[in-house]
Structures are given as C-alpha cells and as structure tokens.
Copies of this chain bind each other. A is one copy, B any other.
Amino acid sequence: MKKIEGGVTAAQGFEAASAAANIKYKGRTDMALVFSKAPCVTAGTFTTNVVKAAPVIWDRNLVLSGAPAHAVIVNSGIANACTGEEGMEYCRQTAQEASACLRIDENTVLVGSTGVIGFQLPIDRIRNGVRMLSAAKRTGIEAGTEAAKAIMTTDTVHKETAYEFELGSGKAVIGGMAKGSGMIHPNMCTMLSYVTTDAAIEKALLQKALSEIVQETFNMISVDGDTSTNDTLLVLANGLAGNDVIRDEDSDDYRAFYEALRAVCRELAMKMAGDGEGCTKLIETRVIHADTLANARILAKSVITSSLTKAAVFGRDANWGRVLCALGYSGVQFDPDKCDLYFGEGEEKLLIFTNGSAADYSEEKATELLSGEKVHILADMHMGEAEATAWGCDLTYDYVKINADYRS
C-alpha cells in the first residue's frame, strides 16, 4: 500500500466538479459533484442524532435499498436540516435534476448538505448548480480537489487523501474527501466524508469493513462534543480495477482493501480534528494497557473532549491534573495511583505523573512539548493489553469568535 496524490477522483472511472451556486457564500464554490461512470456498490454510516437532516434520511434509504449509486451532489452553506417534509422534497428535486442532466436513474443519486441548520435550501439555485456541475464534470486529481474545496464551511483547509494498494489481480485505488470543523463529535459516523474506490467488493462486506473502521477513526475524534445532524460517511466502489469481487473476509484481498480503507478514514478523521474551528493544535491522546478496548476508547475520548484540557493545551500549560481529572470522570474504573501520564511521544516522551504524584519533570520541557502543531498525550493504565487513540484540538478564542456569530 502506498500513499498517492488526490482524493475522490484518484480511483479509475470517477469524475468530479465544483460550482459557485450562490447558496449562502459569495465569491466561492459551494456545490460539488462526484460521479462514477460505472454503477457503484455503496456503504454508509450516518449521524445517530435523533434530529436527522433530510439528506441523511435520503442517503440512508438509498444505501439500505441495495441499489447501485452513480453520483453524489453536495452543497455547503445550508444544512437542509430540521425542515420536515420540505427537506425531503428538496433532496428529491436535486436528484431529479441530476438524473435529467447526467442521464442516470434518480435513485442512484446521493445528496449531502452542510452549513446552517434550519434555513430552507434555495432549491432553484441548487437545481441550477446541478446543471453547472453536470456540464463541468471531468476526470483528474484537480477535479477532486475542487470538489473537496467546494464542500468546506468553516474549514480552513480542504481535506483529501488517496492510497494505491495491491489485490491478487493487480493494483486498485481508494481515495476520499471530507469536510468538518465545528459541531464535530461523530457518533457512529462523521461529518460529510466521501470515499471512492475502483476495487470490486461485495456490498455487505464493504459495509462491515466501514462500520468497523469508523469505530477507530471518525468516532474517535471530537472538536466540540456536539454531534451534528448531518454526519454522513459514504463509500462508493465502482469495480473498475477489474479484480475478482472481494467476498471473503479471510482473503488477502479483503485484508489489503481493509488496510487501505482504514488509512483513508484515519487520515481524513485526523485532518478534521486538526482543522477544528479556531484551533491551533491537533491533540492526539493514546491510552495503552487499558483493561478493555471499549474502556481504552472511552478514556482517550474523555481527554480530547475536556474543555479544560483543550484550553490548557492552547495556553501550552502542562496542566496534567486536568488530563487525570478527565480520565477520572470518563465513567471507567481505574486506580489513579497506578496510572502514568506522559506528554510527547517516542524518545521525546516525558513522564509527568506516576505513583499518584507529579513526576520530577522539567516544566520548560513540558511547555516545549505543548508548543508544536501536534500535541501527544499518553496514558498508561497498567491494567491490560487494550489500547486506543483519539484526536481532538485545542479550545481557543477563535472557536468562540467563530461560533458566537456563525449565522451572519
């Protein structure tokens, strides 16, 4: 497996486009199309929020139906969330427009929306945007990058990644794009994220792989503890790599595909955490030697979710008491006197807390370890063999600024 350039258009047979449809933002693109010439097997995970945006319901229905997909249409600016029947009607009209322009069945069109909750979609502009996207779609890495840029809201960088991997029959490619910066606390799902591959894989196995991988990637990040109404992660597999369809969980091909899908999801999730609203640092918390995997995950996530820990990291203050406190209220039982805490990683790592008290460490060195773009926190529970990693970001003035006045 090797990392390659590109995102959603890295795999064979995928095209993309972006358009400035004037939905809410001015002077930038705000709609994206991902299109596959061949019909795609799909898998998806969606928000667990009781309040689900219309596109979430639309996509989930299509994915569950087992029908193949040809296209994804996404807009940024307005989330099409919480609008009763009207929201579903807008999804249908978007798909109908795409169906007419791209000459594909209406039920092969997935849709996505991200932005302000509660405003109605300007459906005429959306339909016009679909027409522009259909005319502009093309192959090539650049088209994928443009699509990744068009779905940004408060994101400061676009997010995409791609990997090439080996199957028995030859090479295949998987790539993806994502957006997400605020209201990020995925639960069984993520913000908007679209992954494409030319590998051929059975639908049930694709969904199984995705559902497992989500647990250790997108579900292990948090920006602000708010689980969005729109979280959607879709994988489209068009089979153009020409491999024998992957059907066997015990095959080398499945393992190779799984590894590549995990790499894409992990990278997109980390990019999302590292681009949290207003943030200056990615915080990676690794918990080792926990008693169970579930507990390792809860502990790691509790640390990256703690507002006080996040604010301390922003201030480069090695306030390990807040880390210990966050482990303590996570709900997991453990003995604080047997927990070791470190800042930093590898050879650089600095023991901060051990045997129930502060270790004899240099504050200067600790501050230095908190000064980079990536801050590592390691908790050794000394209880068992389970481990987990979670990713978050610091809490800054800019987070407050962005969110005190997001709608205007």
Residues of A within 8 A of B (CB): 48-52, 79, 81-86, 116-120, 182-183, 185, 187, 224-229, 305-308, 311-312, 314-315, 317, 319-322, 324-330, 332-334, 336-337, 353, 355-358, 395-397, 399-408
Contacts and interface: CB of A to CB of B under 8 A. Distances in A.
Per CB-CB distance, the 7 closest pairs between chain A and chain B, nearest first, are A117-B321, A315-B404, A84-B356, A51-B328, A311-B403, A227-B329, A118-B321
A43 B285 CA distance: 38
Nearest to A83: B357
A312 B118 CA distance: 15
B403 A400 contact: no
A311 B397 CA distance: 11
Contacts of A314: 400, 404
Contacts of A227: 325, 328-329
In this complex, the member of A52, A182, A185, A404 whose beta carbon has the largest number of chain B beta carbons within 10 angstroms is A404
A173 B221 CA distance: 50
B228 A306 contact: no
B118 A317 contact: no
Contacts of A305: 225
A333 B229 CA distance: 14
Given A226-B308, A317-B405, A325 B182 contact: no
Nearest to A187: B329
Contacts of A306: 225-226
Contact of A401 (B83, B325, B397): B397
A55 to B, nearest CB: 15
Given A325-B117, A328-B51, A400 B404 contact: no
11 contacts: A49-B328, A50-B333, A81-B325, A182-B308, A183-B322, A185-B329, A226-B306, A226-B308, A311-B400, A314-B400, A319-B406
A225 B336 CA distance: 20
Contacts of A187: 329
Nearest to A325: B229
Contacts of A82: 321, 324, 336, 353, 356-357
Nearest to A308: B226
A306 B228 CA distance: 11
A219 to B, nearest CB: 13
Contacts of A224: 307-308
Contacts of A79: 321
Contacts of A321: 79, 81-82, 116-118, 229
Given A317-B407, A397-B401, A329 B83 contact: no
Contacts of A405: 315, 317
Contacts of A311: 399-400, 402-404
Given A82-B324, A324-B118, A329 B400 contact: no
